[in-house]
Amino acid sequence: MSGHSKWSTIKHQKGAADAKRGALFTKISRELTIAVKNGGGADPDMNFHLRLVLDKAKSANMPSDSISRAVKRGAGEAGEGETLEEITYEGYGPGGGAILLQILTTNRNRTASDVRSAFSRGGGNLGENGCVAWNFDHLGVIGLEVKDEGRGEELGLLAIDAGAEDVKFEDDFLEIFTAIDQLQTVQKALESEGVPPEAAQISMVPKTTIALDDKQAEQTLRLLDALEELDDVQKAYTNADFSPEVLERYQAGA
C-alpha cells in the first residue's frame, strides 16, 4: 500500500499538540457522542469505534464523569444538548500536499470561516468538496514502536495472518493497515502476543504521497498544527511525506 497515515507526524507531535490544546477534552467528548450515535450504542464491547475513542479519552486522562456525560448524550440519555454536524473539508498545503479535515461542529458558518482563515494564514488553499478525498482510503491503522527489525517483521506477519491488508516498518515504527471491520481482530491478535498497540484508530490513509522540500514541509506541519488547534477540527490528514530530519527539526522548534 502506498501512503503514509501521518503516524510519523503523530508520534513526534501529538503529545505537545494535545498538551497545549485547551479544547482537547471537548474534542474527545464530541467524538464519544458521535461514536455512540453512529457506531451501535453505548456498550464498547458491541461498538468498537466507541472502544477506540474511550481508549483515547483514558490516555488523555479525561475525567470519568466527562466521559460518562458524553456517552449519555450520544445515547440520548442526557436531554437535549448541542447538535453536532459532521463535515469534511478539503484543501492543499504549501507545495501542493493534500489536506483532509474531519469536522464536528455546532456552527457550520463559524467553522468555515475559521478553516478558511487558517488555510490562508498557513500558505494553503481551501478546496472544493472531492478535490482530495479520492486520494484517501478509510482504514484501520495500528501503530507501535519496535526497536528490533526482526521483531517488526515477525509482528507484521502476525498482523497479516490475522487479517491486516498491509504493514510498513520504518524508523523503528510499525504501521499496520486493516479494513475497518478487521481492526479489532488484528488488535486482539497483537494483544494475545503481549504486544498492546500504542495507538489504534480509524484513519484516512493516502493512496499516494507527495515529497516536499524542507521549507514546504515545515510550512505544512505548521498549517496542520494550526488546523488541529481549531475547536471544530477533530482530525487532519495529509499525503505530504516528511523526512525524519524535518520532523526532528520541527519538533525541536515547536
Percent of the chain with pLDDT over 70: 89
pTM: 0.84
CB–CB of 212/107 below 8 Å? no
Query: Count H helices, E strands: the chain?
Result: 9, 10
**Which whole number is the average pLDDT over 177-183?**
93
Whether the pLDDT of residue 168 is over 80: the answer is yes
Q: H-type helices in 24-104, by residue range? A: 24-39, 48-59, 64-74
**Which whole number is the average pLDDT over 83-98?**
93
Reading the block at residue 137, the C-alpha cell is 482510503
Whether the pLDDT of residue 79 is over 70: the answer is no
Give CATH superfamily name and number for 8-74: Integrase, N-terminal zinc-binding domain (1.10.10.200)
The CATH-assigned architecture of domain 1-7+81-254 is: 2-Layer Sandwich (3.30)
Q: Please state the domain extents for the chain.
A: 1-7+81-254, 8-74
Whether the pLDDT of residue 3 is over 70: the answer is no
Distance separating alpha carbons of residues 142 and 171, to the nearest angstrom: 15
4 — pLDDT class (breaks 50, 70, 90): very low
Q: 156: Cβ–Cβ under 8 A, 6 or more apart, which residues?
A: 164, 167, 169, 174, 176
Q: Give me the sheet containing 98-105, strands edge to edge.
A: 125-126, 85-92, 98-105, 233-238
CB–CB of 198/69 below 8 Å? no
Give 3 or 227, the one with higher predicted confidence: 227
| Cα 108 versus chain centre, distance | 21
Distance separating alpha carbons of residues 47 and 41, to the nearest angstrom: 6
* pLDDT for the residue numbered 46: 87
* pLDDT for the residue numbered 41: 84
Give 98 or 146, the one with higher predicted confidence: 98
Angle in degrees, 0-180, between the axes of helices 244-253 and 7-20, rounded to the nearest 10:
10
Whether the pLDDT of residue 6 is over 90: the answer is no
Whether the pLDDT of residue 219 is over 90: the answer is yes
Reading the block at residue 211, the C-alpha cell is 515529497
Segment among 26-30, 78-82, 190-194 with least mean pLDDT: 78-82
- The overall average pLDDT reported for the chain is 85
Give 86 or 6, the one with higher predicted confidence: 86
Please name every residue paired with 85 in a beta bridge, in sequence order, or none if there are none. Answer: 105
Give 44 or 16, the one with higher predicted confidence: 44
**Which whole number is the average pLDDT over 65-89?**
83
